[in-house]
Structure 1
């Protein structure tokens, strides 16, 4: 270890910033995150690659903390633990950032040309890209930085090209004309994940569609009247008696005069609106599905890439060239003038927007490249069914299967310049040649045939789907690939199960024959303290780095772990971070106290011998703590792991063990030597077990305790088994007795300075001897004046039960018993009344079904708290004899 990393004595004040600034560079420079362990069992995690344009947000803090806990834990267990790290080139996000910079200079990418523009993107990446990886270091992420990858680096790009060519040759990639989410601002197709659905105040326009024979009309309702220019049918439900007889009849389109048929299709819901639905296949995903069942109706595209009405002879001249929203206004006015606007209904509607462009997304019919996802899904589905890959919690399998069972062709082309350019070339007659290089394509086309490469690039989800194996040098065989693929666990938010997890499963199985990971751990989303989704518009987002500045990385990390209950979203409350900062300070002060008493680093990893009951007790408690921590992490119960460490450190070690041994440390001889050895060993086990969640403070305290042969990050995880011990059972009894006395004193408002007699009328000779052995501790910790193995005198008293035996604490003359009974009775009645009121609200369906989920959850929490309070107060009342 370097001299600069050592801290021989602890400062009085815990300063996380100074510790973090010292230890992280030391770990990274020492290669501690990937030590040489060629013979060790591998353990591999792949980081969901953040966008190269991104900055650390609170969701990253949760996701990365959980991964770091696992990787540090497995590293402590001696594994060849590798956390594969890198960033995604983030096609649309990066292009947007660079284009914005160019605009400030009065430039455009079109004016610069593709080659010059891409040079500017690479320059931006070198200067500004990857800020998030620097921020990850502040959080303490112990990634394999020496092998950091980027989805546009040379090796990864070669893998992407290889995959495209391979899947095309297998008939799994093809070109087709289908509907896509079209962003008119960025002029590209985007994925569902990049579409943000917003509630907006809109309208339902109810329009009359005249039957061609003049015998009447049908009424349809639409939120997008401009799309009627592309109508090719009106659908009714075949089971709808009102309209079934009209199936096959023709409608004279009210604006174009074009004759379109009435068709029968179950998409038309008799209970919704009029039961009649206009069908515009080229501009609505549901309508396209209807077209695929009724191919003879055809489709008509009415928009260009800018979402303006086409200048086409099939469209009435009055609307040609109009912006879609201007066309909407004119069409509504014209229908009204024709007497065909039956009703305008104000309605809040769901409108898709580009998450980055902010403009309304159009379903648009274009030629794109697709993956036959349904074929790839077969094996990916089977791998979860047969257990090759398991979801934790298991309930998320349902989300995975739902997507697999309803999978659609996957559009993988994007109309961008930044990204992996599609390896396809076109001859003058339109023939498509897919090849690894242009030279290979030219060879296939023949000499002298002019070739034009496809202008589009691949969807970033296509390349990131290769992340688990392309990061390891695939398609080339390598020791890294055979050793670290498949990975052990993927930690991810549940909302990208189908965008990313499923695609990695499909591509991994198709291209390598193996599922890319054994376990998929799905955590929830981070919400605010009220349970609301975080968003900039609500002003409730949280900057994790600001929290690190205020409380330290360890406190934030521990909060993330303690809050992560399987299957539930995280309600983030900054007060919890502050509380865990206090926890870190408590540990700091405990080790400072230990230092002042001559307690230092343990001489051996082996458990020390102990004859004193208090030392045997803490050794047994430490073994139980270590075993519980191991079991919790093995089951991905991060909250239970954090709770185990918190309770042990704060309660068992600091509040009880250190208090119990204070008199012993002042003695001379073997008693003090044994106690110091045990205390030092226990501190070591605490630091090791706590290290995965709180790496900085634990490393600092590890070295402050004494000379070490290695850093804590590379120490040995304890393998301890819980055991029964009569001596330690006696201390457990003492802790329970003191705790019960303290609780009774607090609940009954006994003055802190008052000393009470303790009567144990049911005590046998063994219990009497036990009470005598611990008289000093009871006097000091429970403020007991004397101990009597006789019945308590007549009068008011507090009764407590410990291990089935009743003890009494006389209170006459110490508190006003009647006033205390009155206070407890009133308080219990008030808490009970409030609990019943909340129970009534929760049993009312109008509340549970209509109120916001966060309001219902708060009511449940308040009910549980009030019910528990009422029970506690009644128990305190019952103690008064």
Structure 2
């Protein structure tokens, strides 16, 4: 048997070669036209059959970097840390890699394997053209975008499980990208208004002015980052992706932005406002960096349009950054547990309101929280009572370890494993006027957006109604309406013709609202 190892060697042993290029020479029929003669044999005939091609790819562990000739480099890399392929390669590539390496060096050529599951349609059927259930990547990119498609694949299931692919579910995941976009837009809008500068307003300087909700976000981010890194180290991409999604949706959008909205709306230049900006900027920047693993395109855009707009000297691409380090001293598990209870109280209060038909916008008089014998939690919650009052829109929160003495017919009661809440559901005259004022504010804000006013632009407001309760609400809460809508003046009168007007119905009461941008903006 004669084994020829290269084209050059083939030419040396050949007695006769066909007149073709080197590219054609190694293929049939020309390879069979070569005549070979050696000192020990006058005529050689090419073996017509080939060894299983898996043997060829099964030598990738040494052939891939020419390990015979590049011995020093190969020794540094062998055995290889990690390889991945589909589950169908168990008897193919994975097996032949293992067999050839064990035969040659008596050990496996790899330290770990990720065996990927197959992708089937949403009903669990194999995709095929004949069935008409094939999903083409280019169609998904055209409809949903590359980031949304990528995020869905990472989020949907573990890499080693069978994936039931439903294109319609990508739309639900794409909503995460819209939420991230809106969080950044919110931050950028108010940071620009207040001339926030991360180089001037540094987190390490302002942390002493941070409020508990700011410290909670720093703790939550670093806890999430720790979980993400742990999942990544175990190749649990689906769990790492879900942690990042929850960071964006639950921690940033649903929780922190809600908590600081009132603080950043005020035009006063308070230090705790800049502390909130410093915290939000730090967490958003790191969230974008971490997210670049999952959604590379939108994070790159946000890096250029948001981060480098505030820090021009930052690296030119998010993909050139290093993964943020976990700051252990920011992690406060007690604070996180307390806020988890607060958010649970908020959720159960919202459910109680829904049952009795009272909107969250409408203020209520009192909320009693009976804890299930936990003195330590009572102390924590008492310190953060102002957050519960703000989130639940209740004038007074009382936290006890005993059942409160209340007239139950005036309360909606909800019980959980951690606490029992008693929500006062009677709306007195004063609460009604405030509720109506809030409804007016909501509609004025809608009208501001309708005529594309900037957040900082001032307006004049006219309110035209014959309803006595609405008129009383405006008079009682005029300052509140002005503050919340950035109005320089509010009048209950016939609306001038040049104003932008809209007709509304609030709790069955008809009202016409008119707004105009003030020349003093």
- Which TM-score bucket, shorter chain as reference? 0.5 to 0.7
Q: Is the contact between residue 490 and residue 517 of structure 1 (CA under 8 Å) also seen in structure 2?
A: yes
How many positions carry a matched residue from both structures?
388
Q: Which has the higher contact order (CA 8 A, sep 6+)?
A: 1
Q: Is the contact between residue 118 and residue 418 of structure 1 (CA under 8 Å) also seen in structure 2?
A: no
**Which of residues 726, 731, 741 in structure 1 aligns to 2:349?**
741
After TM superposition, the score normalised by the length of structure 2 is: 0.65
C-alpha distance in structure 1 between counterparts of 2:369 and 2:385, whole Å: 17
C-alpha distance in structure 1 between counterparts of 2:360 and 2:376, whole Å: 31
Question: Where do 1:195-210 residues align within 5 Å?
Answer: none
Question: Where do 1:786-805 residues align within 5 Å?
Answer: 786-787=396-397, 790-795=404-409, 797-801=411-415, 804-805=418-419
Shift of 1:536: 1.6
Residue deviations 1:415-438 (CA, integer Å, cap 9, x gap): x9499x8xxx99xxxxxxxxxxx8
Structure 1: runs of 5 or more not aligned: 1-112, 123-156, 158-415, 427-437, 815-881
Shift of 1:791: 3.5
Shift of 1:572: 0.8
Name the counterpart of 1:677: 278
Shift of 1:679: 0.8
Q: Structure 1 544/761 Cα, relative in aligned 2: closer, same or farther at 3 Å?
A: closer
Name the counterpart of 2:269: 668
Q: Structure 1 500/669 Cα, relative in aligned 2: closer, same or farther at 3 Å?
A: same
Name the counterpart of 2:393: 783
Q: Is the contact between residue 616 and residue 725 of structure 1 (CA under 8 Å) also seen in structure 2?
A: no
Shift of 1:646: 1.0
Name the counterpart of 2:258: 659
Name the counterpart of 2:490: none
Shift of 1:769: 9.3
Name the counterpart of 1:715: 321
Shift of 1:773: 5.2
After TM superposition, the score normalised by the length of structure 1 is: 0.40
Name the counterpart of 2:63: 470
Q: Is the contact between residue 563 and residue 570 of structure 1 (CA under 8 Å) also seen in structure 2?
A: yes
Name the counterpart of 1:443: 38
Q: Structure 1 728/476 Cα, relative in aligned 2: closer, same or farther at 3 Å?
A: same
C-alpha distance in structure 1 between counterparts of 2:261 and 2:427, whole Å: 33
C-alpha distance in structure 2 between counterparts of 1:661 and 1:738, whole Å: 16
Q: Is the contact between residue 352 and residue 423 of structure 2 (CA under 8 Å) also seen in structure 1?
A: no
Question: Where do 1:609-628 residues align within 5 Å?
Answer: 609-610=207-208, 611-628=210-227
Residue deviations 1:834-873 (CA, integer Å, cap 9, x gap): xxxxxxxxxxxxxxxxxxxxxxxxxxxxxxxxxxxxxxxx
**Which of residues 223, 243, 252 in structure 2 aligns to 1:644?**
243
Q: Structure 1 481/779 Cα, relative in aligned 2: closer, same or farther at 3 Å?
A: same
Q: Is the contact between residue 114 and residue 417 of structure 1 (CA under 8 Å) also seen in structure 2?
A: no
Q: Is the contact between residue 601 and residue 684 of structure 1 (CA under 8 Å) also seen in structure 2?
A: no
C-alpha distance in structure 2 between counterparts of 1:768 and 1:711, whole Å: 46
Q: Cα RMSD between the aligned structures?
A: 3.8
**Which of residues 546, 553, 578 in structure 1 aligns to 2:171?**
578
Q: Is the contact between residue 664 and residue 672 of structure 1 (CA under 8 Å) also seen in structure 2?
A: yes
| 2:112 alignment partner, SS class | strand
Question: Where do 1:306-321 residues align within 5 Å?
Answer: none
**Which of residues 700, 706, 716 in structure 1 aligns to 2:301?**
700
| 1:472 alignment partner, SS class | coil
Structure 2: runs of 5 or more not aligned: 1-17, 429-521
Shift of 1:517: 1.7
Name the counterpart of 2:467: none
**Which of residues 34, 48, 53 in structure 2 aligns to 1:460?**
53
| 2:409 alignment partner, SS class | coil
Q: Structure 1 746/533 Cα, relative in aligned 2: closer, same or farther at 3 Å?
A: farther
Shift of 1:655: 1.1
Q: Is the contact between residue 288 and residue 299 of structure 2 (CA under 8 Å) also seen in structure 1?
A: yes
Shift of 1:452: 3.0
Question: Where do 1:192-271 residues align within 5 Å?
Answer: none
Question: Where do 1:499-510 residues align within 5 Å?
Answer: 499-510=92-103
Residue deviations 1:290-338 (CA, integer Å, cap 9, x gap): xxxxxxxxxxxxxxxxxxxxxxxxxxxxxxxxxxxxxxxxxxxxxxxxx
